[in-house]
A and B are shown apart, each in its own frame.
Chain A
Amino acid sequence: MGRFFIALSALCCAVIVAMTAFVLGDIAYFGWEKLTLSFLLAAPEQGMAAGGIFPAIFGTFFLVLIMTVAVIPLGVMTAVYLNEYAPKHSRLVQWVRLAIANLSGVPAIVFGLFGLGFFIDFVGKGMDAAFFGSRLVFGQPAILWAALTLALLTLPTVVVATEEALRAIPDSHREVAYSLGATRLQMVRRVVLPQAIGGILTGGILAVSRGAGEVAPILFTGAAYFLPYLPKKLNDQFMELGYHIYVMATQSPDVEATKPILYSTVFVLLALTFVLNFTAIWVRSRIRRRLRLAK
């Protein structure tokens, strides 16, 4: 019996490895040939059947940049409040933690609808009515709203990673700071945050790699099918890699002609998220090692 189960679990592991290898191999094999510098730097042409994907790459980076600027401060401050300021075991903390845990379980498409309803229809239209004489400026899909929607989606990642880093800091360090006359703010700024910076960075990178691949939240909030220009302002629409893949796979007039480009685009998106994930893992392992040494 024992040997049977060992063989069975080994088989399960093999299936996982084989599937990952197949997906990666398939994409690398078919995506490789079209992958040239000019492909990365050119705009799509002939209904996406030719040309490159530069606007989508640019849009993805721009989107993720705004998202990061929004999600890091919000997530870090939330985690610092929960871990350093809020009374332990308080009702409020329990509710906030529950809310964050649930947030990470909400389907991405729901975030998209929320972004449409809240950011565009409520905040955006409200801003237009208040500041622009009801001219359509912010009350429409835009990179800002898409980025903020993604920020909400990735918020739990940042909060959880930061909290983990904060919990790894021994309480004795906090007590030393207090015993030397630190206020709570000084303690947080000089003892806690410097030690948590790696965890915050890890959370940020994981959030970016998650956010870069999500399509559903930006579907209604700002991603465009095709744009002849690059986004320059916060209320511009934008092209994005994940959405571009979806568009090419389902909306292209000539699916067969688009296929090689589709493969290469998937390859670029995967490479991007892998690089980010590996960076996060590397940063985290370095920090763990440093923490072990410090103890």
Chain B
Amino acid sequence: MNAPGGLFIEALAVRAGDKELLKPFSLRVDRGEILGVIGPAGSGKSTLLRVLNRLVDLDDGLSVSGTVQLDGANILGPEVDVPSVRKRIGIVFSVQVPLPMSIYDNLAFGPRLAGVTDPGGLGTLMEESLRAAYLWDEVEDRLREPASNLSGGQQQRMCLARTLMLRPEVLLLDEPCSGLDPISTAKIEEALQGLKKRMAVILVTNNVKQASRVADKTAFLLMGELVECGPTQDLFTNPKHKRTEEYITGRFG
């Protein structure tokens, strides 16, 4: 049994016709830890996150097998209520996507879908989420402005806060810092350290250094295959596989 709030991936595989996007593998991530997922482009990192958030349902022609257990229940099962899975397993995309509305409405979007509309409750939740995303001080007075007024880095932290508004049990981040300046990147990394106390975090990143800075555990994906996974310290100082070593030392990828 896995600890409450953890995600337990077992024999997960994704195919598109004859092509294996993800070869069967197992993996777990518990509340209180950040799992870094590294690997070159096209190795299936984003596909993995899309499976876990069930966004894969929107993609044509993909078949998913295996199980992913959240609190002992398989979220890939056919009878699962997909919207509620997505509320429990939040995702932040690599490109920041503010919806064309105010910061306030962006943040309130998720709770409102779930029927939460009272301004008091939303306000409390909003401050909590914005603080957790290290954005509160910058937007406290401008919540009614269009979200597009924010800088790229602020937008990405707003997207993080928007996901946190649903108090997810698992947080997925798909290269959240690609295209961000070092200061915004540092703020997001700092935010993750606080957030992992409350949830399990999976951080997909193209930036090997970021994984070594932030992740407790790191998994290396290559061409849809999980090459190895272990405590970040071990993987970076003492990789078991030659391919891992070559990748983290920058010899390919």
Question: CB within 8 Å of B: which residues of A?
Answer: 88, 170, 172-173, 175-183, 186, 190-191, 195, 293-294
B93 touches A175 (CB 8 A): yes
Say yes or no: A181-B99 contact (C-beta < 8 A), given A175-B58, A175-B93, A294-B148: no
- Which residues of chain B are near A191, meaning CB under 8 Å? 99
A180 touches B58 (CB 8 A): no
Say yes or no: A180-B86 contact (C-beta < 8 A), given A186-B113, A293-B148: yes
The answer to the question of B90 belonging to the interface, with a C-beta cut-off of 8 Å to chain A, is yes
Which of chain B's residues 221-247 have a Cβ closer than 8 Å to chain A?
none
A172 touches B93 (CB 8 A): yes
**Bound-complex Cα distance A180 to B158 (A):** 14
B58 touches A178 (CB 8 A): yes
**Bound-complex Cα distance A291 to B83 (A):** 28
Say yes or no: A176-B99 contact (C-beta < 8 A), given A181-B166, A190-B109, A294-B148: yes
**Bound-complex Cα distance A294 to B55 (A):** 24
How far does the Cβ of B174 sit from chain A's closest Cβ, in whole Å? 10
Question: CB within 8 Å of A: which residues of B?
Answer: 53, 55, 58, 60, 83-84, 86-87, 90-91, 93, 95, 97, 99-100, 109-110, 112-114, 148, 159, 162-163, 166
In the complex, which of the residues B84, B90, B95, B100 contacts A179, with contact meaning CB atoms closer than 8 Å?
Answer: B90
How far does the Cβ of A197 sit from chain B's closest Cβ, in whole Å? 12
Closest to A195 in B: B100
A180 touches B162 (CB 8 A): yes
Q: In the complex, given contacts A176-B99, A180-B109, A195-B100, what are 15 additional A-B residue pairs having Cβ atoms less than 8 angstroms apart? A: A88-B60, A170-B97, A175-B55, A175-B93, A176-B159, A177-B109, A179-B91, A179-B163, A180-B86, A180-B163, A181-B84, A181-B110, A181-B113, A190-B112, A294-B100
Chain A at the B interface: SS class: helix
Say yes or no: A173-B97 contact (C-beta < 8 A), given A179-B90, A180-B110: yes
Between A and B, 25 residue pairs with Cβ closer than 8 Å are A88-B60, A172-B93, A172-B97, A173-B99, A175-B55, A175-B93, A175-B97, A176-B93, A178-B83, A179-B93, A180-B86, A180-B87, A180-B110, A180-B113, A180-B163, A180-B166, A181-B87, A181-B113, A182-B83, A183-B83, A190-B109, A190-B113, A191-B99, A293-B148, A294-B148
How far does the Cβ of A291 sit from chain B's closest Cβ, in whole Å? 8
How many residue pairs link A and B with beta carbons under 8 A? The number is 58
Say yes or no: A181-B100 contact (C-beta < 8 A), given A175-B93, A176-B93, A186-B113: no
**Bound-complex Cα distance A181 to B84 (A):** 6
How far does the Cβ of A271 sit from chain B's closest Cβ, in whole Å? 35
- Which residues of chain A are near B83, meaning CB under 8 Å? 178, 181-183
- Which residues of chain B are near A294, meaning CB under 8 Å? 100, 148
**Bound-complex Cα distance A137 to B10 (A):** 69
**Bound-complex Cα distance A173 to B98 (A):** 8
Closest to A294 in B: B100
Closest to A172 in B: B97
Please indicate which of the listed interface residues B55, B60, B84, B86 has the most CB atoms of chain A within 10 Å of its own CB. Answer: B86
- Which residues of chain A are near B114, meaning CB under 8 Å? 181
Closest to B89 in A: A179
Say yes or no: A172-B95 contact (C-beta < 8 A), given A179-B53, A179-B90: yes
- Which residues of chain A are near B109, meaning CB under 8 Å? 177, 180, 190
A181 touches B97 (CB 8 A): no
- Which residues of chain A are near B148, meaning CB under 8 Å? 293-294
How far does the Cβ of A198 sit from chain B's closest Cβ, in whole Å? 12
Closest to A182 in B: B113
- Which residues of chain B are near A293, meaning CB under 8 Å? 148
**Bound-complex Cα distance A172 to B100 (A):** 12
How far does the Cβ of A295 sit from chain B's closest Cβ, in whole Å? 9
**Bound-complex Cα distance A172 to B162 (A):** 15
